[in-house]
Amino acid sequence: MCGVGGRMNLWMVQMLLTSRLQLWTGGRRGWRIYLLVVRMTCLMPHYPQPFQNFRLTFRHPFKDMIKGMRMDLKKSRYKDFDELYLYCYYVAGTVGLMSVPVMGISPDSKATTESVYNAALALGIANQLTNILRDVGEDARRGRIYLPQDELVQAGLSDEDVFKGKVTDKWRSFMKNQISRARKFFLDAEQGVMELSRASRWPVLASLLLYRQILDEIEANDYNNFTKRAYVGKAKKLLALPVAYGRTLISRPSSSGNQSTLG
């Protein structure tokens, strides 16, 4: 989106989502905002694209995101990756799904809509898995472990090992597998970036490259995510911006239903 119309459409999407949240949580002010925005959209000769797909695209992911926040209040262990994946979908994958109508799909893209949404979902999952791996020590100090329990056991580890926060060979081996999985989700997400509208490709790819580098920093810290927080320095952040921009210039949307071409 661009221009005054684009900014207005985005503002109305944000206001509508905010008012819906206030409605679900019992806020009276949400009614007034919600009715105002709905009336404004009814006066428009052509609904903006995000509103055309609101019920299909926003409704369930937004409710699922709320569900994830509530889950976090009660649940602090995940028995396997299936459970962890569901949590990641609730709190982050939903954001990816809701972002697609705002970012827009390139008119030149021949990829299926489903594949674009799958890539957006993968980016949300990858980001959340990265958050989890970065914050293991911080979460442990709060009594939380966002790691697959069965995989910890298979690696010869336990909750107690996580709480002790000691980097061992078993922990390094376990973390290598976790990082490898997160990178696969980033790779899946990367395939959909060039299918987005031209204006959206650069910021999305830049954020993907920056977040993926957090995994590199965990490795550089010898997998000590107990007492060392992995972060990307300013120099690397600045470097990622032109790299991402350059890749969006030399890459193009898919010419068929297959994946996009990335340089």
Q: What is the mean pLDDT of the chain?
A: 82
The verdict on 59 and 103 lying in the same domain is yes
Residue 17: per-residue pLDDT: 55
Q: Is residue 255 part of a domain?
A: no
Looking at the domain assignment, is residue 260 inside a domain?
no
Residue 172 within any structural domain of the chain: yes
**Tokens read off for 149:** 């329990």
Q: What percent of the chain has pLDDT over 70?
A: 74
Q: 197 pLDDT exceeds 50?
A: yes
257 assigned to some structural domain: no
Neighbours of 63 (CB within 10 A): 15
End-to-end Cα distance, the chain = 25
Q: Total domain count for the chain?
A: 2
Range of the domain at 185: 55-250
CB atoms within 10 A of CB 257: 11
**Are residues 117 and 93 part of one domain?**
yes
Strands (DSSP E) contained in the chain are none
Lowest mean pLDDT among 36-50, 112-126, 194-208, 234-248: 36-50
Model pLDDT for residues 70-114, shown as the tens digit of each residue = 888 889 999 999 999 999 999 999 999 999 998 999 999 999 999
Angle between helical axes of 59-74 and 81-88 (0-180°, round to 10): 120
What is the Cα–Cα distance from 258 to 233, expressed in whole angstroms?
35
Asked if residue 238 and residue 182 are part of one domain, the reply reads yes
The pLDDT of residue 122 is above 80: yes
| Range 45-69 average pLDDT | 62
> Is residue 157 included in any domain, yes or no?
yes
115 plus 39 within the same structural domain: no
Answer for the pair 219, 179: CB distance below 8 angstroms, yes or no: yes
147 sits in which H/E element? none
202, two tokens: 């650069």
Sort 46 into a burial class: Cβ within 10 Å, 0-12 / 13-18 / 19+: exposed
CB 153 within 8 A of CB 175: no
Q: Name the residue with tokens 């999305």.
A: 204
- pTM of the predicted model as reported, rounded to 2 decimal places: 0.75
Q: Do residue 68 and residue 44 come from a single domain?
A: no
| Whether 45 and 75 share a structural domain | no
Q: Categorise residue 148: left if φ over 0, alpha if ψ from -120 to 50, beta otherwise.
A: beta
Q: Are residues 206 and 118 part of one domain? A: yes
One domain for residues 122 and 193? yes
Strand partners of residue 252: 261
Q: What is the CATH number of the domain that holds 162?
A: 1.10.600.10
From the list 181, 183, 235, 180, the residue with the least C-alpha distance to 208 is 183
Same domain, 122 and 14: no
Question: Is there a single domain that holds both residue 175 and residue 230?
Answer: yes
